[in-house]
Chain A
């Protein structure tokens, strides 16, 4: 496969994790500007585990995602009492705090005569596990998409399970949910923890692909983008955020003719799209319609 294509696809895959993370919270009606915090925590956490402590890749990734999930839970407990915009701004404040802490966070050890580890604003170099283990870029892409597929399967199971409908119900009307005897806040904390883990998987994968992370990558732009992907692609299905990522990174990045004006075109497109479809391309009604068509088609085959 063409190396350029592999790198674009890998990028799409990794960003999809954080987009799905923001999407999961959107389902429960919460807008988070701060999922990049968990992406960052896991990128650093898993990087430290493999590059500095000599852990194997999978253990490092698991460790990073766990850290991200824990952090997300700890943040969710005090902030999810807040409603609407207050929650959104709290997530933003937390994510910026995380970024600024990484700007000053230094923790280095000497390995083979070289200092390895996060060095404040200079970032964290040499997270070389994948290259040292001779994993090719193509194989790593398969790892990314394998994990993404697992997460997506999780989403599809969720959509059909009771938990998924509780999440959507909270998003529609938290009061109604409470009146049915369900603790909406507890469910939201659960959703936030899951979203943290999902972002964490993406962050760990990211650190090992690029071998180098620096705090400024995890700025609020990443967070708002990941939120926007869900809304562009549509809130009706977990494929929506993926479509959003695909449109931005895959489609627009590949059109060279608009390279210098990409954001002018993209910004305008998104603005117009949201006028026509305020809940994205694959919104609930469209997904419902597609499902019906699909079922009818299956029946016709029988």
Chain B
């Protein structure tokens, strides 16, 4: 039982970073209804910009985080312009394949400039653990969790208390009606992309900081963790993305402990597959999915 709870704690800590990635995914999907496969690789590029600042200018912590976020936002904007803005609205598949092509491109750009593949990254914290009764919490995980929670609250304020947040939600609910209100969809999409990339940049800094090293594979990893967490929670739902991220973290921690490392990803994908077959709307999206189905029946 102690093990199980310890795993849950670890899972929630790690899952908080998955939640950030999933929120980024869900923001973009919400306003565009298109999938950005290049999300992970673009924040990976940002993290390498951070690495560059760390290695070349010997700057630590905050400067690296800022550089990572800036790099991620620039890469995200590049993806948005090329794969989404430039491709007409109806061609969702073309956008997705295009974002995949840019994924390949970003990965190769990084390997050209960073041929060693594995590079050091400033660690988030000393490797110490805090003891609470029979449980241990790693300091770096605690920092990651606190940052993720703080960012989520900030995001909530942004979405529900500002004019931009109102516009963003209007566009994701009904782009046609949003245009009648005079909302410029292109501009909202652009800033949603930038926002998602910035969130992703922070997530990348936190995750890579706990590993203290980075490889170009992080792009693929981040895309899939974010995608799985988003689907588990329900596409387009922010509370869903948070729950999905935490659930994914806990399932990974439990399966690693009880079954072994080689079963960790298998368990995650199996969970995703079962969810898709039996509860395609995810944890939070069920209502929306039902409504969509009902609408289809009516026609």
Which A positions have Cβ atoms within 8 angstroms of B? 26, 31, 78-79, 82, 85-86, 88-90, 93-94, 96-97, 100-101, 103-104, 121, 175, 220, 224, 227-228, 231-232, 260-264, 266-271, 274-275, 278-279
B94 at the interface (CB under 8 A from A): yes
Asked if A267 and B235 make an inter-chain contact with CB atoms under 8 angstroms apart, the answer reads: no
Collect the chain B residues with CB atoms within 8 Å of residue A263's CB: 104-105, 107-108
Which of B37, B96, B280 makes the CB contact (< 8 A) with A82? B280
Asked if B276 and A100 make an inter-chain contact with CB atoms under 8 angstroms apart, the answer reads: no
Asked if A267 and B37 make an inter-chain contact with CB atoms under 8 angstroms apart, the answer reads: no
Asked if A266 and B276 make an inter-chain contact with CB atoms under 8 angstroms apart, the answer reads: no
Rounded to whole angstroms, the CA-CA distance of A172 and B111 in the bound complex is 40
Q: Beyond A97-B269, A271-B83, is A279–B91 a contact (Cβ under 8 Å)?
A: yes
The 5 closest A-B pairs by CB, nearest first: A267-B105, A278-B91, A270-B101, A263-B108, A278-B94
B277 at the interface (CB under 8 A from A): yes
Shortest Cβ distance from residue B254 to the other chain A in the assembled complex, whole angstroms = 17
Asked if A100 and B105 make an inter-chain contact with CB atoms under 8 angstroms apart, the answer reads: no
Asked if A231 and B93 make an inter-chain contact with CB atoms under 8 angstroms apart, the answer reads: yes
Collect the chain A residues with CB atoms within 8 Å of residue B83's CB: 271, 274
Rounded to whole angstroms, the CA-CA distance of A101 and B106 in the bound complex is 30
| A-contact bits for B274-299, CB 8 A (1 contact / 0 none) | 00110010000000000000001001
Which B positions have Cβ atoms within 8 angstroms of A? 35, 37, 82-83, 86-88, 90-91, 93-98, 100-109, 112, 220, 224, 227-228, 231, 235, 262-263, 265-266, 269-270, 272-273, 276-277, 280, 296, 299
Q: Beyond A224-B100, A228-B97, A274-B94, is A260–B112 a contact (Cβ under 8 Å)?
A: yes
Collect the chain A residues with CB atoms within 8 Å of residue B228's CB: 93
Collect the chain A residues with CB atoms within 8 Å of residue B270's CB: 93, 97
Collect the chain B residues with CB atoms within 8 Å of residue A82's CB: 276-277, 280
Shortest Cβ distance from residue B32 to the other chain A in the assembled complex, whole angstroms = 12
Most buried by B among A79, A220, A262, A270: A270
Collect the chain A residues with CB atoms within 8 Å of residue B97's CB: 224, 227-228, 231-232, 270, 274
Shortest Cβ distance from residue A146 to the other chain B in the assembled complex, whole angstroms = 30
Collect the chain B residues with CB atoms within 8 Å of residue A278's CB: 87-88, 90-91, 94
Known: A89-B272, A231-B97, A260-B112. 6 other contacts (CB 8 A): A94-B269, A220-B224, A224-B97, A266-B104, A271-B102, A275-B82
Collect the chain B residues with CB atoms within 8 Å of residue A100's CB: 262, 265-266, 269
Q: Beyond A90-B277, A270-B98, A278-B94, is A96–B104 a contact (Cβ under 8 Å)?
A: no
Which of B82, B107, B231 makes the CB contact (< 8 A) with A271? B82
Collect the chain A residues with CB atoms within 8 Å of residue B109's CB: 264
Rounded to whole angstroms, the CA-CA distance of A261 and B105 in the bound complex is 9
Q: Which residue of B lies closest to A120 (CB)?
A: B262
Rounded to whole angstroms, the CA-CA distance of A82 and B275 in the bound complex is 11
Collect the chain B residues with CB atoms within 8 Å of residue A89's CB: 227, 231, 272, 276
Q: Which residue of B lies closest to A100 (CB)?
A: B266
